[in-house]
Structure 1
Amino acid sequence: MTEIGLPDGIRACLFDLDGVLTPTALVHAAAWKDTFDAVLRTIEGPDFQPFDATTDYDTYVDGRPRADGVRSFLSSRGIELPEGEEDDPPELNTVHGVGNRKNVLVLDKIREEGVEPYPGSVRYLEAVRAAGLRTAVVSSSANCRDVLVAAGIEQLLDVRIDGNVARERGLRGKPKPDTYLEAASDLGCGPDESAVFEDALVGMDAGRAGRFGRVVGVDRTGQAEELRRHGADTVVTDLAELLEPAR
């Protein structure tokens, strides 16, 4: 299957959403920065060290379930908040309250700015489907379907495993491979017959842990070497690079 840049034997393509199919990773990073900076300012005062929307986002938040991202980043600053409840109001300084605050900001930004998919990703989705492969989106976001609909690409994906589905089925989030394995299973394929497409380091870890047939790193932020170190078999800056005419 050289025309789509994958080894023979691959029957399913499993795509992360933010940063792979849509540029919403940038929206998430900005929302996390606004959220965490407000928390840090409250706890540490005006001289706090701000959240870095590139380094801190990539290291502690990107690709993780929302509450895990809150715990991971705040732990890096030596901060521990009460867990709270999943429906905590966004103004409450609990793990779930902070996560819900970020979610409100993300939804506001998506409504205000809209969502346009990466053109190269749309081309690639259409090409793999034309080649007879099945497709799934695998995202930790609870807003995955809203983003797919807003971007106009929901019909190009056969299966959706997102934050809501993961919670309903009791699946562990990335870097565990559970959500990707579930997507492959829902498509009737084994991991060795499936390719993972990810931009997050924890997504690379999930692909490697699940022993998938191919793990493709999508480098939107200049972290190609990190993606390779975390398990990418190949790294591209745009999925269209995998199509033969683009090589």
Structure 2
Amino acid sequence: MTQLGLPAPIVACLFDLDGVVTKTAVVHAAAWKETFDAFLRDRDGENFRPFDAAADYAEYVDGRPRADGVRTFLAARGIGLPEGRPDDPPDAATVHGLGNRKNLLLVAKIRTEGVEPYPGTLRYVEAARARGLRTAIVSSSANTRDVLRSIRAEHLFDVRIDGVVAAERRLPGKPHPDTFLAAAADLGVRPGQAAVFEDALAGMDAGRSGHFGYVVGVDRVGHADALYAHGADVVVADLAELGGAE
């Protein structure tokens, strides 16, 4: 190990947003729960089984593009919906309709509750940049730029690969490694020279399948074993634990 708890070949750091840089994972989970519970309650009536904002969110939704999260969770419940179109209204009974309903709720929650960063992560990113490491933000969220601007952190990342960029480039989202690979390419480094920082199981899978040099699992909710099982090289509760960012 060398600087900041990373192996010697690492020259770039690729950070997820929600749950790693900002405390928005819990807001996403709440928006998904409200969306899925309303849908399931209308559909199943007295057989309604609510969305679990911890277990279901981690297993089926966290880290995935919005529509993929809808598909994956509903498939786990044996439910199929028409795909619809990306511009479907939020009351449409389609994959994209449910996803758009969730996004409306998310944006409203962010506006009313605000966004908080994880100070340990910001210090770590600043320390990495001070040591000459390149940095990128890699998120499935289409709201990434606005969130970074709200915490005045946009300047901390040389490259941004988010839901908007992924759609423009037609990159499949996590658990596929394509968005992380795109970030590494934009930074001018090979995957083996880059470290991935993720809190989502889908992000761990992306880091492992992309053959990145180091995969750091960030455990905010007590699922370290699952992060290791999905490919983490190390798991920390906060990036300050890796050193160099005190």
TM-score by length of 2: 0.98
CA contact (8 A) 1:4 1:242 kept: yes
Superposed CA RMSD in Å reads 1.1
State the 1:3 CA deviation: 3.6
Instruction: Quote the residue 2:240 is aligned against.
Output: 240
Q: Could you tell me how far apart the structure 2 residues matched to 1:173 and 1:129 are? A: 26
Q: Could you tell me how far apart the structure 2 residues matched to 1:75 and 1:225 are? A: 25
Q: Deviations 1:61-106 (Å, cap 9, x if unpaired)?
A: 0000000000111111111111111000001111000000000000
State the 1:181 CA deviation: 0.3
- CA, structure 1 residues 245+173, in 2 after alignment: closer, same or farther (shift >3 Å)? closer
Q: Could you tell me how far apart the structure 1 residues matched to 2:68 and 2:176 are? A: 12
Instruction: Quote the residue 2:110 is aligned against.
Output: 110
CA contact (8 A) 1:125 1:156 kept: yes
Q: Deviations 1:158-187 (Å, cap 9, x if unpaired)?
A: 100001101110111111100000000000
State the identity as a percent: 68
Q: Could you tell me how far apart the structure 2 residues matched to 1:151 and 1:230 are? A: 30
Instruction: Quote the residue 1:190 is aligned against.
Output: 190
AA matched with 1:84: G
TM-score by length of 1: 0.97
Q: Secondary structure, in 3 states, of the residue corresponding to 1:14?
A: strand
State the 1:8 CA deviation: 0.9
> Is 1:223 matched up with 2:223?
yes
Instruction: Quote the residue 1:29 is aligned against.
Output: 29
State the 1:2 CA deviation: 3.0
Gaps of 5+ in 2: none
Q: How many residues align?
A: 246
Hey, which bits of structure 1, 4+ residues long, moved more than 3 A? none
Q: Secondary structure, in 3 states, of the residue corresponding to 1:45?
A: helix
CA contact (8 A) 2:127 2:244 kept: no
Instruction: Quote the residue 2:44 is aligned against.
Output: 44
Instruction: Quote the residue 2:81 is aligned against.
Output: 81
Q: Could you tell me how far apart the structure 2 residues matched to 1:49 and 1:245 are? A: 43
